Amino acid sequence: MDAEGRKDDHHQRTDQEGLRVRRRPVAPARFYNFAGKRAQGTTESAEYVPYERIVDMAKGDVESTITWSFSGENGTTEVKFEADYQAPQKFFPISEQGFITRRNEFEAETLLANLKAKLEV
């Protein structure tokens, strides 16, 4: 149960640093739009440290690790988004890899700008 008495369905463990970490179950297989191409896979939350970081890992057509990091100072919160992936050659030839990288960087910047716009007071 959580601090407010609600049932907590997340699995909990303690990592090497002694921080409480909750793992969520694996999400069912989904289809994703990867730069205009349909990709299928599952996503699992590999790590959740409250107020510090969330790490999700995707497996399937595109293997990736997505890390959200949070830090606070003087009443503000800094959010960092990091995506570690390899664009599969079955979707994009080597000659298009630069385009994919630029497109995904644009998408990440847009995501963070939208988050900032929604959360700023």
At 2, the pLDDT band (50, 70, 90 cuts) reads very low
Condensed to tens digits (0 to 9), the pLDDT of residues 92-115 reads 788 888 888 888 889 889 988 998
Whether residue 90 lies inside any domain: the answer is no
- N-terminal to C-terminal alpha carbon distance within the chain: 31
Tell me the three-class secondary structure of 69-114, residue by residue.
Answer: EEEEECCEEEEEEEEEECCCCCCCCHHHHHHHHHHHHHHHHHHHHH
Domain of residue 70: give its range: 11-85
Whether residue 108 lies inside any domain: the answer is no
The average pLDDT across 75-85 equals 88
The encoded tokens of residue 9 equal 């369905």
The percent of residues in the chain predicted with pLDDT above 90, rounded, is: 19
- Name the residue type at position 59: K
Whether residue 78 lies inside any domain: the answer is yes
At 68, the pLDDT band (50, 70, 90 cuts) reads very high
More confident residue, 90 or 71: 71
Q: Are strands 20-23 and 37-49 parallel, antiparallel or unpaired?
A: unpaired
Question: Considering the chain, what is the average pLDDT of its residues?
Answer: 76
Whether residue 115 lies inside any domain: the answer is no
